[in-house]
Chain A
Amino acid sequence: MRPLTEEETKVMFEKLSKYIGDNIKLLVDRPDGSYCFRLHNERVYYMSEKILKLATNISRDKLVSVGTCFGKFTKSIKFRLHITALDFLAPYAKFKVWVKPGQEQSFLYGNHVLKSGLGRITENTMQYQGVVVYSMTDVPLGFGVAAKTTQECRRVDPMSIVVFHQADVGEFIRNEDTLT
């Protein structure tokens, strides 16, 4: 486990800012103690300093996970957000999409969100803006990228995709093995 390098930090924060914008600040400077990002097994974990100290007791090959896993770096040093980061993305998300109950299941099985299943969408969403997907009861279900702007969404036909799927909570079951 080690702190992120300069470059890694930049890549990761760029990615995060697509979803939560300036709110990244809130992740780093928290009123309830200092929190930090650490790299372990190519994965980025977000944890409080307290837990960090404790985790140093554990040797590297025996350590499986600390705090919350945000995502992982690919071999080409791109950062890929995991669904496990949803707990921290959802409260700070700038742009949100709500899906209708009928399409919840479809989204949870890894499909894109179609216009027909679109319940609500934040105003002024730009194309390719990172969005967090909610159910109509405000339960976060995953995140993705807006395929259309809010304006376009009003006009397109019902079967066209409005949000590209990136991650959904169904992955807790489907991809349990690769979460860590």
Chain B
Amino acid sequence: MGRKLDPTTHVKKGPGRKSRKQKGAEIELASFIPEEEATAKRLSSRSRKRAAKRVLSKKAPKDAAKEKPKKGFTDENSEWLTPAKRKRKLEEAESGDDSDEHWENEEDLEMEDEEEEQTKKGVKEQGKKKKSAKVEIKEGEEKEDDDDEEMVDDYGAPDGSEAESDGELLPIERAAKKAQQLKEALDLDSDDDSDDDEDDAKKKKKSDSDEEEDTVQANMDEMDAFKLPGAEESAKEGILPLDLKTIHQRIKDNIEVLCNFTKQREEGKERAEYLSLLKKDLCTYYSYNHFLLEKLMDIFPLSELVDFLEANEIHRPVTIRTNTLKTRRRDLAQALINRGVNLDPLGKWSKVGLVIYDSSVPVGATPEYLSGQYMLQGASSFLPVMALSPQEGELVLDMSSAPGGKTTYIAQLMRNTGTIVANDANADRLKSVVGNIHRLGVTNTVVCNYDGRQFPKVMGGFDRVLLDAPCSGTGVIAKDPAVKTSKDEGDIQRSAHLQKELLLSAIDSVNAESSTGGYVVYCTCSIMVEENEWVVDYALKKRNVKLVPCGLDFGKEGFTRFKERRFHPTLKLSRRFYPHTHNMDGFFVAKFKKFSNVVPTTPVVKEEEENGEAPEATVVTESPEKKPAKSDKKKKIVPGKAVGLKGKPQTNGTAAKKKTIVPGKAGGLKGKPQTNGTAAKARQAIVKPKGKKDSPAGPTKAKKAKMDGETVKGAMAKKPAAKTADESKASTADKQKKSPMKEKKRMGKNKFRKLQSLLKNEIE
């Protein structure tokens, strides 16, 4: 009920601006005022107040006192004006000050033109007295508004229009005056520059004339070549920071020069000087840290850079994905429209996406949402799943699944058939995964909580793997502005390292022989080359994988060369997405096809020797990959060793035989837990054996090595990262020699495992 009354009370509050306008002689003028003007006024009311305050505190007392007497108004006029002030006071707290200011404005105007216009003015003022008093108040308002608009960042919007509006407001004589002012503008410019002391205060008083000066100045700037600030100026800047508008203008000019450097450069200035200034300005203006901005400057051409930075200041549109397991997009759209949601289909490339422009209800709590008919999901999150294009009946791994958006999308593409393993390293975030898969009615999912790096040991043989790697989040600055300042080189390197490990283990979890799949999709919400192309390139070198087209017909191609780095030429098959070009979060997608389960060892060795980089990853993951391919042969060849190798079957764990795979492995794994007693132990067992394998697997005759290895490496396996380069080299060298031995052992293992699982089954 109270609400109903609200609008009326609103209207009743004092005589509104309109009512004032409509009073008396001003009706004519009101017709002159364009509507946009009015709205603009309304918008800036706050800033007007602010401005008024500032003015009050600084200049009003002195200047007003000084200048009032100068003014041509008679006593009568001032009497007339006081009531007006009061009116305004009632409406707005600080209006009293405002009115003072208006007066000042008026005075300034008139002072400047005093000589020329005095005669005219005198006459007219006398004639109009009453009218003009009000008119002038109005004018004061208008001018002040203009001032305010200037103070707010309008990002270099042209001032000309304002000047025009003033012209419209004012009687014809004013227009004439302005023409003259324009002519005088140049002189005034010089005056302004000289009067440093008066600075802001004076400018405001001079509102009209100032504006025009500004426009003129702006024009001059455009014509003039952009000049780098001298040393003293920049030193001054350090103490007194420039206002943002100036910086923005300078950025624009600077970029213009840089884009056309040979023509527009200032003689004797280096490009580097321009760049460093630009960088500094961008950092100040958009509040990035220097490191990140440098990275971004490397990625984007300058003209695009600003677009990108601007795009990061606005949020991406809210998008939802229809859950086709429960409804159709058309039905969902209808239901949501009925609830007062304003939406549209999302691009041609998606048949399930909807963009939400605005909504009268919370989109995350409608009955449709709760009953699982849709999922709130950024447009960019659709892409990796579309690239993965899971088929019905497949076994799919989502390595870092929280909060379940992509997982459920995979499930809906598979129509709830096959199996999805949704993994995430963070147990808390898994709660949302569980909630979402149940809400959306996904029934084919196993949710688990491993570190993705251990995954090939847990289970392998997936048809497809989606790796949405943890990253620095430089593509989603709009969502999380903290990224702007919180990242440094170390963070990027750390996440790149983790991504490499994860990607290798993702690749190792895939079964290349899968009839339908054998694909890995790698994606990040980062746009750093270190976290994307570099990681992909690394994987291409380390594993038998190739890049294939993502199946996305838009997006920019990945870099094949970046600064001093050269990547594999097929990297142009990967896709990059940017906020400013695609209006979705910054994103990177690459799709691999694994063509062999064999892990290339020779190049690995060389690489390791050269780089000493992440050797542990290759060593650890190697074994499971090789096994499937070789295991079959081995069985036939060397039946004998099974008995001696009791320990090893356990170690093999994941490896099993990939072709028969799942059941076999399951059995093998089951066996371990039982032998060990608790599940936790079982895992350790799995881990350790692998560590062992690595070393002993290598040497053909290396029983000694094994013995040593078992003790040493058992410990090491737990923290593989700790391995030194030397060890890894040794082990890889061993491997090369060994391959025949390995085969034998494995065959033994397999047999053993079979036996074990048989036993278990019986026991069960």
Task: Give me the interface of A with B, judged by CB distance under 8 Å.
Answer: 46-48, 50-51, 53-69, 83-84, 87, 104-105, 108, 135, 137, 139-141, 168-170, 172-173, 176-177, 179-180
A62 touches B370 (CB 8 A): no
B446 touches A172 (CB 8 A): no
B63-89 interface mask toward A, CB cutoff 8 Å, 1 = contact, 0 = none?
A: 000000000000000000000000000
B438 touches A104 (CB 8 A): no
B431 touches A176 (CB 8 A): yes
B446 touches A63 (CB 8 A): yes
B469 within 8 A of A: no
A104 touches B367 (CB 8 A): yes
Which A residues touch B364, using CB under 8 A?
173
A59 touches B673 (CB 8 A): yes
B664-686 residues with Cβ-Cβ distance < 8 A to A are 665-666, 669-670, 673, 679-680, 682-683
- Bound-state Cα–Cα, A60 to B458, Å: 12
Which A residues touch B679, using CB under 8 A?
59-61
B427 within 8 A of A: yes
Which of A65, A67, A104, A173 counts the most chain B CB atoms within 10 A?
A: A65
16 contacts between A and B (CB under 8 A): A54-B459, A58-B450, A59-B680, A64-B430, A64-B433, A64-B449, A65-B434, A65-B445, A67-B446, A105-B367, A137-B335, A172-B370, A173-B435, A179-B431, A180-B431, A180-B434
**Contact partner, B371, options A47, A68, A140, A176, Cβ 8 Å:** A140
B435 touches A179 (CB 8 A): yes
- Bound-state Cα–Cα, A139 to B374, Å: 13
- Bound-state Cα–Cα, A141 to B432, Å: 20
- Given known A-B contacts A57-B459, A59-B679, A180-B434, A51 and B448 have beta carbons under 8 A apart: no
Which A residues touch B459, using CB under 8 A?
54, 57-58
B443 within 8 A of A: yes
- Given known A-B contacts A54-B419, A180-B434, A169 and B370 have beta carbons under 8 A apart: yes
A53 touches B662 (CB 8 A): yes
A176 touches B432 (CB 8 A): yes
B363 → A minimal CB distance (Å): 13
B444 within 8 A of A: yes
Interface size, chain B (Cβ < 8 Å): 44
B370 touches A173 (CB 8 A): yes
- Bound-state Cα–Cα, A86 to B421, Å: 22
Q: Is the interface of A mostly helix, strand, loop or mixed?
A: mixed
- Given known A-B contacts A56-B670, A173-B370, A64 and B427 have beta carbons under 8 A apart: yes
Which A residues touch B157, using CB under 8 A?
none
| Nearest opposing residue in chain A for B678, CB measure | A60
- Given known A-B contacts A56-B666, A179-B435, A141 and B450 have beta carbons under 8 A apart: no
**Contact partner, A51, options B441, B446, B458, B683, Cβ 8 Å:** B446
- Bound-state Cα–Cα, A56 to B395, Å: 15
- Bound-state Cα–Cα, A46 to B665, Å: 22
- Bound-state Cα–Cα, A122 to B658, Å: 53
B367-405 residues with Cβ-Cβ distance < 8 A to A are 367-368, 370-373, 395
B683 touches A59 (CB 8 A): yes
| Nearest opposing residue in chain A for B364, CB measure | A173
B433-475 interface mask toward A, CB cutoff 8 Å, 1 = contact, 0 = none?
A: 1110111010111111110000000110000000000000000
- Bound-state Cα–Cα, A46 to B442, Å: 12
B722 within 8 A of A: no
- Given known A-B contacts A54-B459, A68-B443, A139 and B395 have beta carbons under 8 A apart: no
- Bound-state Cα–Cα, A68 to B435, Å: 11
Which of B364, B446, B670, B679 counts the most chain A CB atoms within 10 A?
A: B446
B335 touches A58 (CB 8 A): no
Which A residues touch B240, using CB under 8 A?
none
A-B pairs, top 5 by smallest CB distance, nearest first, are A169-B370, A59-B679, A84-B438, A60-B679, A65-B447
Which B residues touch A50, using CB under 8 A?
419
- Bound-state Cα–Cα, A140 to B458, Å: 38
Which of A87, A105, A170 counts the most chain B CB atoms within 10 A?
A: A87
- Bound-state Cα–Cα, A83 to B368, Å: 15
- Bound-state Cα–Cα, A140 to B679, Å: 39
